[in-house]
Every structure is written in structure tokens, then in C-alpha cells.
Amino acid sequence: MTIAHVIIFLGLLIFLSHFFNSLFSKTRIPNVLLLLLIGIIIGPIAGLVDKSFMGQFGTVFTTVTLIIILFESGTGLKFADIGKAIGSATMLTLWNFISTVIIAALIANVFGGLNWLSSVFVGAIIGGTSSAVVIPMVNQLKLNDKPKTVLFLESAISDVLCLVVGLAVLEGMKAGALSIGGVFSKMGMSFLFALLIGVAAGFIWSIILKLVRGIKNSMFTNFAFVFILYGVVELLNLNGGIAALAFGVILGNAEFINNSKWYQKVFLFKTTSLNANEKDFFGEIVFLVQTYFFVYVGVCIQFGNFWSYLIGLIIVGIIVLIRPFGIRVFAAKKAEPRDLAIMSIMTPKGLVPAVLASLPLQYGLKGGETIQDMGYSIVLFSILICSILVILVSKDPLIMSRFIGRKKGKQEKPTNELSYENAENEEVVIQPDQADDLSPKDD
């Protein structure tokens, strides 16, 4: 492909992504899946683009995409919603991570021929959900605040788990032994200190944001600061993604912080919240980078050993089957059937397993090629199955109810009926064709 072809293709992708978004309202096919398929067609199938085409910039691009998506999603989370969802999100994350590690390790060891340490590595890198995939999907599906926040927080927390535990197990694979205590210690430090740094940076930036706006062309300074924040936190061997998310949350809640009595008593400086123009601008940037990101992921997927891909499909299938039980225990309280159904199928993998799965092969470790093939297959099948289930759930929100097993209670009424209680507290159901009779008549 010439440079001219590449430029034309990049422009067409934006138009296609807009078309896919409008198509979603009719077909319920997520644009994530369609963009991924475009990448697979031009990459491993047709061979028009190779993953080496972007070279080292490919890794930088995926990281930048993750930073922007986490930061922008953080600006939309409110303290009240986080307070309601953090317990459910944490417990759900731990349930999915532990159960996935156990299931994937057993299957990879018994059927994939990997040793136990390598099998645990496979389970660790796929034990979470991908922020880069979950957030765009959830935004398209328009969930209620608490379920949406649970899924956002789950994806962010699980990214930490997968990265820290996965890299720790990788070090164990190199050394031939694994320190469990070291894994937990590093994980706790990575999460806690990254969170504190992100919160502190958010406070500082919200205080000086008003001054920054006085600079000409200052829209990108928010991204510039969050990029610096991410890089500094990563250099400290902490998790930059959590810091970027916390930074976004503080900016998104700056007005609430500024109006709180405890803040006014302690601090003299006023915090400044993001305005509507900035939020719209961030949304446009997220749309742009995620469009190219999913095509790039499709290009990077490599079709290797058939048996490894079959094992990956089996692992994804079992993960999808066991997730509703975690939703039932940790996140079903006061949630609507549609929200529960979407939460139960939201298991896509993405950036973390795609990157980490290739490391054992790069280090020349035994079973590295098998691990890479399994990792790529799990990313592909998890996004594919999740997208198919999204289509099914969108057409029938109660399709997952038999798996979730909600307690019997007051049955929800069809959305095409209205109801009220009369003077004797007897419920009266009004059909749509009767509704006009209740409207006030002109004299």
C-alpha cells in the first residue's frame, strides 16, 4: 500500500465508524466487532497490512488509546455512583479473575500441554475485562448509572490485576519459581500508590485549570498532563492506568468538591470543573482513537495452531457461562433485567492479553508460541461472542434471566402498558389504545 492509499483508508475508517454507530441502533451490532473484522480482513486474511507496519509506534498507540479512554471515562463517573458500585465492582473483579485463572490454567495444562506456571500465566493475562473494549460498548448500550460504573471500575481494576499478576508470573517463568507474597505486595502497592498520585494530580490540575484555559489552543493541555502523569507513574513501577482514571474522576467531580463544606474549611483554592466544550472535545478524541485501535487489534491477531485456537474458544465459552453467577451474587441488587443481562455477557478481552501473550515467545521461553496463539484466540473469540450476545440481549433483555436466577418478586410490566392505583389501591392496567381516554379534553 502506498502512502496515498493509507491516507484514503484512514479517512474512510472515520466515515465507516460513524456509519457503524448509526447501524447499531437498528442491528445492535457493536462497532467494535465490525472494526475488528476490518482489521482481520486487511491484516491476517488479505495480507494488505502487517502488524510490523506500525513498528514500535504500534505499542505507543495502544498505550495512548488506553490512557485517553480511561481518562475520558473517569470524567463521567460521579462520587455517588462510585460509592454505590465500588464494593460490587471489586468483588465481581476478584470472582472473575480467580475463577478465570483456575479454569484457564486447568485447560491450558491438560489440553494445551503447558506446564503449570505457563498455564497460570495464560489465566492471569485473561482474568479481567478490557477497558478499551468495555467502555465503548457500554456507552453505546446506555446502561443505568450503577451498572455502568460497576463495569467501568471492574475493567480498570482488572487491568491492574492482569498486568501485575501476569508480569509477576512471567518473572517466575524466567526464574523457574514464583513468589506468591511478592505478587500480592506488588499488586497492593501498584494500585494504592497509583490511586493516590492520580487523585493528588487531579486536585492540582483542577486548581490551575482556570489559568491554563487562558493559554491559546489549550484543549490538548489536559491530555498532555495526563500523558505526563501516566509516564511518571509507570516509571515508578506503578499502574499508570489507575492514575489516569483517578485523575479523570477528580476533574469530573471538581464542582462537587469545590462546593463541599469540608473542602471550603481546609483549602483556600477553588477547583475548576471541565466545561461542556472540553467534554465534547474529549469525546471526539476517544471516538477517533478507538476507531483506529480496534482495526489495529484486528491486524495484530495472528491465526496460528488450530488446536490452540480451539482451546481458546473453549476457555472463552466457559468464562461466559460462569460470569452470570458472579453477577447474581455481587451485582444483581436493584438492577434491571436488561442491565443484568448486559453485565452478564460483558467479558471481552483486549489490550492487556494481546500485549502480554507475546512476551514469553519474545523471551524464548518454552511454550511461548502456544501461549501467544491462545492469547490471540481468546481476545478474538471473547470480543466476537460478546458482540453476538449483545445483539441477542438487545432483542430480548430477559434471555439471560434463566442463568442469573433472579428471585421471584413483583413482575415488571411490559413497556407498552401504563398502570396506576385507584382509590381502593387496586392496580389498574391501561392499554396503549386506552391511554388517550385519560388525557384532559378541551372544553
CA 271 to CA 273: how far, in whole Å? 7
Decide if 243 contacts 198 (C-beta within 8 A).
Answer: yes
Phi/psi of residue 402, nearest 5 degrees: -70, -25
Give the residues of the chain that fall short of pLDDT 50.
Answer: 407-443
What CATH number does residue 370 fall under?
A: 1.20.1530.20
Q: Is residue 429 part of a domain?
A: no
Grid coordinates representing 19 are: 456509519
The pLDDT of residue 402 is 56
Answer yes or no: is 437 within a domain.
no
Cα separation of 368 and 370, whole Å? 5
Distances (CA, A) of 86 to 151, 207, 333, 439: 10, 26, 14, 44
Residue 190: count other Cβ atoms within 10 Å of its Cβ: 22
For residue range 216-227, list pLDDT tens digits in order: 777 889 999 999
Domain total for the chain? 1
pTM score, whole prediction: 0.73
What are the two backbone dihedrals, phi and then psi, of residue 408, each rounded to the nearest 5 degrees? Answer: -70, 140
Show Cβ contacts of residue 63 under 8 Å, excluding neighbours closer than 6 positions: 230
Which residue range is the domain that position 166 belongs to?
3-404
d(CA 68, CA 282): 8
Distance CA 116, CA 109 (A): 6
Residue 246 in domain: yes
Taking the C-alpha atoms of 381, 131, 242 and 226 in order, what is their torsion angle to the nearest 10 degrees? 130
Q: How many residues does the chain have?
A: 443
Candidates 380, 383, 387; CA nearest to 312 is: 380
Determine, yes or no, domain membership for 410. no
- Sequence-distant (≥ 6) Cβ neighbours of residue 400 within 8 angstroms: 324, 340, 341, 344, 345, 393
The grid cell for 135 is 467502555
The answer to whether residue 436 is domain-embedded is no
In a domain, 111, yes or no: yes
Question: Alpha helices, DSSP H only, in 213-305?
Answer: 221-235, 240-252, 254-259, 261-266, 276-300
Element (H, E) at 30: none
Q: What is the pLDDT of residues 389-433, one digit of tens each?
A: 988 887 777 766 555 555 444 444 444 444 444 444 444 444 444
Q: Is residue 432 part of a domain?
A: no
Residue 117 near residue 178, CB atoms below 8 Å = yes
- The CA-based dihedral angle spanning residues 241, 242, 247, 248, taken in that order and rounded to the nearest 10 degrees: 70
Residue at 427 is within a domain: no
